[in-house]
């Protein structure tokens, strides 16, 4: 009975989880602005409290915060918009510039580093040429003669030159013998004659290929030919075209996601304002509603404190990452360094793969420099050094144990919240998973899930 009750309880929890996730996915347009406003309010609430402690009234403190937020967001929007417009104008010429810069490298790469490639190209070219047989006739010529013989069975007549000068009423004479007699009646292997004549290029009735839908495609005597092979010399050219398509699709998806967020800026700003006004009274309301000793109250306080700490530290380290990336790109003379620095700030919130995604545009633009390979290598190495310095030297010093989540859980949460909430879900995947883990830790039935999500195993003898 107890086992059945426990199973039923788990099934109800799983059903509730599916319903909540389906609701969030269906209400994506409403859930994303609300979640962003909630996280912004959590981050800005300490600033609101500092202004209140300075003696400013709540309304004036709120006005100061809103003005600062509008100024920062307006400046960033102008910088992003101008940089994106300039980049979009130069995006069409990007493949040609990359191909031009890679031309010397292509010749050197083909001549020195790919001798096997030269052999492959030579073999491909030799296969395209007709091969001569022992009698000196090419294979292609024999095949063509065979085709001509099948298509035209009329014997040629040797017309003497004096025919042209002959009058029209004179009969034309030739030196050839009399034409051959009519061909013998065609018979089948069994000896029975065919009722119908064989059409030009057609198939005999009873032929196993007669019902083949592909047989008509080659009934005119054409033969299958090998598809055209692309020389290894053309690889950089096709690479440049592929880079343009990838870059265009990448930025189209990214900008569409950011445009959806910016279109809800007014709703987010108003929601943040009301949340900040309510922040000072919200703890008192919770204590009155739940009681001072209620574990739910302590759970909410822990969630707010951990999320605020994570968001503040992550914002500072992301800003430092953006400054270092912009400085690196300015030194290497990569176009639009401030745009890629801001992109590094945003994607620094995306665990595991954020820094890799943020480095793609700068590496592509490095290929249009005077020394494409060296510049692209320096950009890639610079990104690696900056992100390793931030992730392994700066963040652990301030975050201590970090998120308290295993690497696998962080990656799976990135995929899951990105599927539920889109690009914003990827940015907020870490704090959202932290909230889930803290909630599970305070549940006796689901505490074991919190242990499985943790980055470290509990000490021997300690049970969850």
Q: Where are the domains of the chain?
A: 1-113+236-280
pLDDT band at 403 (very low <50, low <70, confident <90, very high): low
Distance CA 60, CA 48 (A): 10
- The answer to whether residue 57 scores a pLDDT higher than 50 is yes
Could you say which DSSP state residue 390 is in?
Answer: I
Distance CA 404, CA 393 (A): 17
Q: What is the pLDDT of residues 154-164, one digit of tens each?
A: 444 444 444 44
Distance CA 172, CA 162 (A): 10
Q: Lowest mean pLDDT of 93-97, 211-215, 309-313, name the range.
A: 211-215
- The answer to whether residue 54 scores a pLDDT higher than 60 is yes
Determine the pLDDT at residue 312: 85
- The answer to whether residue 381 scores a pLDDT higher than 90 is yes
- The answer to whether residue 96 scores a pLDDT higher than 70 is no
Beta-carbon contacts of 399 under 8 Å, excluding residues fewer than 6 positions away, are 309, 310, 313
User: What is the pTM for the complete model shown?
Assistant: 0.62
For residue 313 the two structure tokens come to: 């530290």
User: What values do phi and psi take at 385, rounded to 5?
Assistant: -65, -45
For residue 191 the two structure tokens come to: 């000896």
Residue 383 burial (CB count, 10 A) = 24
Determine the pLDDT at residue 331: 92
Determine the pLDDT at residue 258: 59
Q: What is the pLDDT of residues 254-272, one digit of tens each?
A: 656 556 666 677 788 888 8
- 3-state secondary structure at position 185: coil
Query: In terms of Cα–Cα distance, which of 139, 312, 123, 91 is closest to 229?
Result: 123
Distance CA 168, CA 365 (A): 78
Distance of CA 398 to the CA centre of its chain: 33
Average pLDDT over residues 194-202: 49
């Amino acid at each position: 009975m107890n086992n059945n009750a426990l199973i039923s309880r788990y099934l109800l929890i799983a059903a509730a989880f599916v319903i909540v996730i389906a609701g969030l996915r269906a209400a994506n347009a409403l859930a994303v602005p609300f979640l962003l406003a909630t996280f912004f309010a959590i981050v800005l609430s300490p600033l609101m409290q500092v202004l209140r402690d300075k003696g400013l009234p709540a309304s004036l403190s709120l006005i100061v915060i809103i003005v600062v937020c509008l100024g920062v967001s307006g400046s960033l929007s102008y910088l992003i918009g101008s940089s994106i417009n300039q980049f979009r104008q130069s995006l069409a010429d990007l493949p040609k510039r990359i191909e031009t810069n890679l031309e010397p490298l292509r010749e050197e790469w083909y001549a020195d580093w790919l001798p096997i490639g030269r052999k492959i190209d030579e073999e491909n070219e030799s296969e395209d040429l007709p091969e001569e047989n022992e009698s000196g006739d090419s294979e292609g010529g024999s095949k063509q003669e065979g085709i001509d013989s099948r298509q035209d069975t009329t014997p040629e007549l040797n017309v003497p030159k004096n025919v042209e000068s002959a009058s029209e009423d004179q009969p034309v004479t030739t030196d050839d013998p009399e034409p051959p007699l009519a061909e013998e009646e065609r018979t089948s292997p069994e000896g029975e004659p065919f009722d119908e004549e064989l059409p030009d290029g057609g198939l005999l009735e009873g032929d196993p290929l007669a019902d083949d839908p592909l047989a008509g495609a080659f009934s005119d005597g054409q033969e299958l030919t090998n598809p055209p092979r692309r020389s290894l010399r053309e690889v950089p050219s096709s690479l440049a075209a592929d880079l343009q398509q990838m870059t265009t699709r990448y930025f189209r998806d990214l900008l569409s996601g950011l445009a959806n967020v910016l279109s809800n800026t007014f709703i987010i700003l108003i929601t943040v304002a009301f949340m900040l006004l309510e922040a000072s009274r919200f703890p008192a309301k919770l204590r009155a509603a739940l009681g001072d000793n209620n574990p739910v109250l302590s759970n909410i306080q822990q969630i707010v404190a951990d999320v605020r700490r994570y968001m503040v530290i992550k914002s500072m380290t992301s800003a430092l990452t953006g400054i270092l990336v912009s400085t690196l790109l300015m030194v290497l003379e990569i176009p639009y360094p401030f745009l890629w620095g801001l992109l590094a700030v945003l994607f620094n919130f995306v665990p595991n793969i954020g820094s890799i995604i943020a480095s793609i545009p700068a590496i592509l633009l490095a290929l249009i420099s005077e020394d494409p390979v060296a510049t692209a290598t320096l950009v890639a190495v610079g990104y690696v050094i900056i992100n390793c310095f931030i992730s392994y030297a700066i963040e652990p010093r301030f975050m201590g144990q970090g998120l308290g989540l295993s690497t696998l859980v962080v990656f799976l949460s990135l995929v899951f919240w990105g599927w539920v909430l889109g690009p914003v879900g990827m940015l907020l995947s870490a704090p959202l998973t932290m909230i889930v883990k803290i909630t599970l830790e305070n549940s006796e039935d689901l505490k074991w899930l919190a242990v499985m999500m943790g980055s470290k195993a509990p000490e021997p003898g300690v049970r969850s």
